[in-house]
Amino acid sequence: MSKRVTIDPITRIEGHLRIDVEVDQGQVQKAWASSTMWRGIERILLGRDPREAWLFTQRFCGVCTTVHALASVRAVEDALDLEIPINAQYIRNLIQIAHALHDHVVHFYQLSALDWVDVTQVLKADPVKASAIAESLSDWPENSAKQMAAVKARVAGLVGSGQLGPFAHGYWGHPAMKLPPEINLLAVSHYLQALEYQRYSNQVVAMLGGKTPHIQNLAVGGVANAINLESEAALNVDRLYQMKSLLDKIVSFVQNVYVPDVCAIAGLYPEWFSYGAGVTNYLSVPDLPLDGKSTSFELPGGFISNGDLSSLKPITGQKDATWRKAVSEDSAHAWYKGSGGLHPWKGETEPDPTEWDEDKKYSWVKAPRWEGKPAQVGPLANVLVGYASGNPLMVKWTDAALDKISAIAHVKATPAMLHSTLGRHGARAIRAAVLSDLAIKQWQLLTDNIVKGDTTIFNKPEFPKGTVEGVGFHEAPRGTLSHWVVVEDGIIKNYQAVVPTTWNASPRDSDGTPGPYEASLLRNPIADAEHPLEVLRTIHSFDPCMACAVHMFDPKGNNVARVKVL
Amino acid sequence: MARCAIYGIGNILMGDDGVGPAVVRYLEDHVRLPDDVVLEDLGTPSLDLPSYLAGHDAVIFVDAVASDAAPGSIRLYTREEIAATPTGIRISPHEPTINDALILLDFAGTGPRDVVLVGVVPETMDGGMALSAPVAAAVGRAAGMVMEMLADQAA
């Protein structure tokens, strides 16, 4: 007898992800992903000055502020064929790297780790053994038995108080939780340390962006960071070295804590390399431009079909002819008028809500398609495209992570295993390691260029009469983001943001083909329908970032996800 | 590390949800704060909120609040009232609330000692950048309450 399980945020205000799964014989047989809130936020931009659009777009999402700012200025620069100074590229690159490292670490420790780590098991852990295991994984200095014992005591205090604090709603003691007590202790210890390292990333963003979470330093045509080695108020050598010391700390945490933790946890749950593949077409765009015209990039982009790395079709830049044509959004199963796939420059956002109906319309998310096919985006796409391209850093860190996982799991981990729930976590850690190396490289490029005497930061944009179209893309922490703008006589005429979570949380399209979340849940095991931990594992592995539009303090707390089993 | 932080929470693109940021702008324009007071429009930080709270002795939030009271009404919420809001499973990084952030930092031992929330009741949360008339009229009063709270911290 099949059961229907719905995980749905109760709120009527915040737009979030609703997941419906049909479970039979202990496995998911069918799945639907929907967003419960209309995201027509782009309409705020119509009729505005394109030079200011980024100030509004960074409010689309409270978690991904900088990424929407960056994609927006790139879109307008693309429409104008405007080259920007190389200092501006390096400064933007450093901001995006610092933001991504913050985001990946937060996602893993604060949102996902507790799907795998059973906090209540910490009480059974031997701190001396936990310390020894940690020291075998990396030479991070904050893994002493004394530190582990202090964390264990902190957890014991929490459990003793009868309140589980941040862990109150974990699926503790769930049959799918399998880590040894010492690994649970190690993970909770790093969960606490991660809080401190997240702040360092924010400090880097604030140093360059002026403020965080909403940066102030972008401009269509470059950045607004005054560079003057003689001035206290400008970007100078002192500031550059302050930033470097923060970057060094973040790099060390990523490489010595985050990456080994993900490898250890993955190595102890090897069966999760066989669940959650879903859609294995992967889309990733090139990013970290190395010239003012954005024609060469630190990390490559491309499209991979059906999980076959040899099928890689590179995307060379925003001017790439295939890229500019291939993206469309289908609203056959989304609450918008029309159904056929429209190119984003022609995109419409006219709402047409009905009841939730799995055969008709059931989501506020449109279905983005690449040449008509669904595509998975995110760190896994980024890493697979980088690996298939032979990018040296991607190859180095992917091979290192697979070796580490192999040693712990006692099975040979291969790139093919990355098409999975755990593969997405592994890839996020691999990407963070690559970006951490590139943080230092970009810092050096910026410093060398400034010391050489180049202080240029801005090229003034000129808007022509008539209509121009532009696209700005960015390989954001959750994957390929693109902003599509149409400018007429210097005023915004159309604006569409195709965000990473739209690709992944896509509903079915006109052909009935499911999106990545929906496909990834098929055949996931479900040990206990009342406690669908396994569904959360797979969905969290994508790092969902839903409609992001509104927050309100609700004293009644009506924004708690509820699980309903029918 | 600063002693006190004043944080506006909310989305300026969603009507009255932007009241927290509007109060922050009002304070920036009208009040000279001591150097050790942090004043920031945090937007909708959710899962990122702990980064901004750790290390402060006191935090004053300004946010829209769900309430049956008339739009533009202002009410203070104590830490105990914030702590009484339910917590639960989180699917996306947008769901963690102020309470989740405080609980996490309490566990880490780095949470603020004093927390208060100045809540303004919204009229509309539909898309748009303008505040409704009753909420716009409440901005100055809410800012005044923030300053009173700040004076209490100093006392």
Bridge partner list, A392: none
Q: Which chain A residues are closer than 8 Å to B1 by Cβ?
A: none
What token pair was written down for A529?
């329908």
Nearest-CB residue to B63 (from A41, A154, A553): A553
Residues A125, A183: Cα–Cα separation, whole Å: 8
A564 interfaces chain B, CB cutoff of 8 Å: no
A192 interfaces chain B, CB cutoff of 8 Å: yes
A178 CB neighbour count, 10 Å cutoff: 13
Chain A 519-538, residues with CB within 8 Å of chain B CB atoms = 536
SS3 content of chain B, % helix, strand, coil (to 5): 40, 25, 35
A458 interfaces chain B, CB cutoff of 8 Å: no
Q: Which chain A residues are closer than 8 Å to B63 by Cβ?
A: 551-553
With a CB cutoff of 8 Å and minimum separation 6, the contacts of A232 are none
Residues A263, A276: Cα–Cα separation, whole Å: 18
B50 interfaces chain A, CB cutoff of 8 Å: yes
A206 interfaces chain B, CB cutoff of 8 Å: no
Residues A23, A33: Cα–Cα separation, whole Å: 15
The three-state secondary structure class of A94 is helix
A453's enclosing H/E stretch is none
Q: Mind listing the pLDDT tens digit of every residue in chain A (566 residues)?
A: 688 777 765 333 345 778 889 999 999 999 998 876 665 678 889 999 999 999 999 988 888 899 999 999 999 999 999 999 999 999 999 999 999 999 999 999 988 998 999 999 999 999 999 999 999 999 999 999 999 999 999 999 988 888 788 888 788 889 999 999 999 999 999 999 999 999 999 999 999 999 999 999 999 999 999 999 888 889 999 999 999 999 999 999 999 999 999 999 999 999 999 999 999 999 999 999 999 999 999 999 999 999 999 999 999 999 999 999 999 999 899 888 876 778 889 877 778 888 889 899 988 888 999 999 999 999 999 999 999 999 999 999 999 999 999 999 999 999 999 999 999 999 999 999 999 999 999 999 999 999 999 999 999 999 999 999 999 999 999 999 999 999 999 999 999 888 898 899 999 999 999 999 999 999 999 998 888 899 989 999 999 876 443 445 655 554 455 666 65
Indicate the pairing of strand A222-223 with strand B4-9: unpaired
Residue of B nearest to A161 (CA): B107
* End-to-end Cα separation, chain B, in angstroms: 19
Interface ipTM above 0.95? no
Q: Which chain A residues are closer than 8 Å to B116 by Cβ?
A: none
A172 interfaces chain B, CB cutoff of 8 Å: no
Write out pLDDT tens, residues B106-125: 999 999 999 999 999 999 88
Test the B interface: residue of A35, A546, A550, A563 with most B CBs within 10 Å: A550
Question: Residue A107: is it exposed, middle or buried by C-beta count within 10 angstroms (0-12/13-18/19+)?
Answer: buried
Cite the beta strand spans of A54-162 per DSSP E.
none
Q: Which chain A residues are closer than 8 Å to B54 by Cβ?
A: 195-196, 199
The tokens 């990523």 sit on which residue? A254
Q: Which chain A residues are closer than 8 Å to B48 by Cβ?
A: 62-63, 102, 106, 198, 202, 213
